[in-house]
Structure 1
Amino acid sequence: MSDKEKSQIEKQVSTRRTFLKNSGLTVGGLIIGGAVGSLFGRSPESDVKTEQTTHAQAANPNEALMFFYPDEYQTTMAAAERIFPKDELGPGAMELNAAIYIDHQLASQWGVNAKDYRLGPFYDPDPTQGQQIRILRKDLFRLGIKALDDYSNKKYQKKFTELEAKEQDEVLIAFEKGEANSLSGVPTSVFFKMLRNLTMEGVYSDPMYGGNKEMLGWKMRKYPGTRMSYTKEIQSDKFVQLEPNNLQSHMGH
């Protein structure tokens, strides 16, 4: 190796060391792996998320999960399907991707109660004020999903997803009535209400949020979706049946 080539290599090494030093990415001569990794688009958090996404794709290869682990996703799908089951009128919550919608909501700012006032002082609510939850929604939901399995194992010696439809209904009814053990002080009825509301939102929300696959939830209701104007249809003397539009159909216009 010539002296010129050695000089170029030493200069490159010196430049990297100077950059790391000036960037504050070294402590006691040791490079902080997460900080350096983030320079190349990688961090410890992204490693965890990559692993979670890999498991999620195994559970549902067509959708990347953002919050659930595969077993949680399977349990949520099963529970949502019992709340909005498939019948002669159309598909159920499972086919409509309601669990995907729930996953995305729990991974969003809504899941961490970002817009809620959560500082004290705290007072016991009046009966008309409902349950005042002091736990993050994502944490409550995760506790609820685990409790479904715990209750099912205790009563039937099976996981919730292994139960017959009638048995799953009995478990969900027990949660709705608050008969199962509380979730960190929160009645199971509160979790059930959240599960039911999220399921219905996943069935009928705009597909861009993850649920209502192919707008099938709207098609069952003959709902025309989001349209910029109905003026032309209103002026018609005859009833006009419209195919539903979603929010993405307006993008680029």
Structure 2
Amino acid sequence: MESKDKNISRRAFLKTSGVATGALIGGGLLGGLIGYNANTPSTTDKKSGDHKQEATLNKGLMFFTNDREFQIIANATERIFPKDDLGPGAIELGVPYFIDNQLAGQYGSNTKEYMQAPFAIGAATQGYQSRLTRAEIFKQGVVKLEAEAQTRFKDGFSKLEAAQMDEILTAFQKDEVAMNGVTSAFFFRLLRAATLEGAYADPIYNGNNNMDAWRMKEYPGHQAAYINVIESDTFQKIEPKSLGSMH
């Protein structure tokens, strides 16, 4: 393990990302804790196949009807937002279900976005440029993640060690994997953004289980009012509330 000065710790990431207050992670900023610009030690050397959902959740799959595909996405999100001593990771937060449900809806079909030709490979500063929908990109991305795992390590992605998964995801981030109609770097940015959105979204969208991601940032969620504390000069640690709890 390297010194703390040479790492972007999860604590530092949570403090500076601004995700819970509405800021969006930009394309040039390393998303989550995975990438060739940062080294964050894993809290476990177990194979990611051990990172199964620990509790039975009242959530159903709407897009990834194939469990193998769902597990690939689940394990990829866990590497981007891993569990550690500060709190749960993507799997425990329900992020894979959030992504699955979003891909089954307008997010996945790009319903409200202009999707007509001409199509060109956009610059890093440009937004969505692909002729493919997000659903199609994620489907292809899952296939490519599995193919890279088989090529590099002769095993399925979900059976790899954490460091091996990181190697593959970093290759996607650095645009070293060929994809059709989209770059692997763009797929990685979509996956990273969806992972963070699922971690910090209101639990009504099937992510952020038990509002634990909000608790890590001491974000209060959706309070009816702050009139009882607005005059206080001290920081207020408030138990978060979900939209689902407001009647």
Q: Does 1:82 find its partner at 2:75?
A: no
Q: Which has the higher mean CA deviation after the structures are superposed, 163-172 or 116-125?
A: 116-125
Structure 1, gaps ≥5 residues long: 1-59
Offset of residue 120 of structure 1: 3.2
- 1:92-171 matches, within 5 Å, as 92-122=89-119, 125=122, 128-130=125-127, 132-171=129-168
| Offset from partner CA, 1:154-208 (integer Å, 9 cap, x none) | 11000100100000000000011111122x1311111111010000011110000
Offset of residue 122 of structure 1: 4.5
Equivalent residue in structure 2 for 1:228, among 216, 224, 233: 224
| Offset from partner CA, 1:1-29 (integer Å, 9 cap, x none) | xxxxxxxxxxxxxxxxxxxxxxxxxxxxx
Offset of residue 72 of structure 1: 1.2
Question: Residues 237 and 189 of structure 1: is their aligned pair in 2 closer, same or farther, counting only changes over 3 Å?
Answer: closer
Q: Does 1:179 find its partner at 2:176?
A: yes
Partner SS for 1:175 = helix
Where relative contact order (Cα < 8 A, 6+ residues apart) is larger, the structure is 2
Q: Does 1:189 find its partner at 2:180?
A: no
Residue identity in the other structure for 2:87 = G
More helix by percentage? 1
CA-atom RMSD, angstroms?
1.9
Larger Rg: 1 or 2? 1
| Offset from partner CA, 1:65-100 (integer Å, 9 cap, x none) | 111121111111100000000111111101101001
Distance 1:121 1:169 in 2: 35
Question: Residues 246 and 133 of structure 1: is their aligned pair in 2 closer, same or farther, counting only changes over 3 Å?
Answer: same
Q: Does 1:219 find its partner at 2:215?
A: yes
Structure 2, gaps ≥5 residues long: 1-55
Q: Which has the higher mean CA deviation after the structures are superposed, 127-136 or 227-236?
A: 127-136
Equivalent position of 1:72 in the other structure? 69
Partner SS for 1:223 = coil
Offset of residue 238 of structure 1: 4.5
TM-score by length of 2: 0.73
Report how many residues are paired.
Answer: 192
Q: Does 1:249 find its partner at 2:238?
A: no
Partner SS for 1:94 = helix
Offset of residue 240 of structure 1: 2.9
- Work out whether residues 132 and 181 of structure 2, in 8 Å CA contact, stay in contact via their aligned partners in 1: no
Partner SS for 1:171 = helix
Q: Which has the higher mean CA deviation after the structures are superposed, 92-101 or 115-124?
A: 115-124
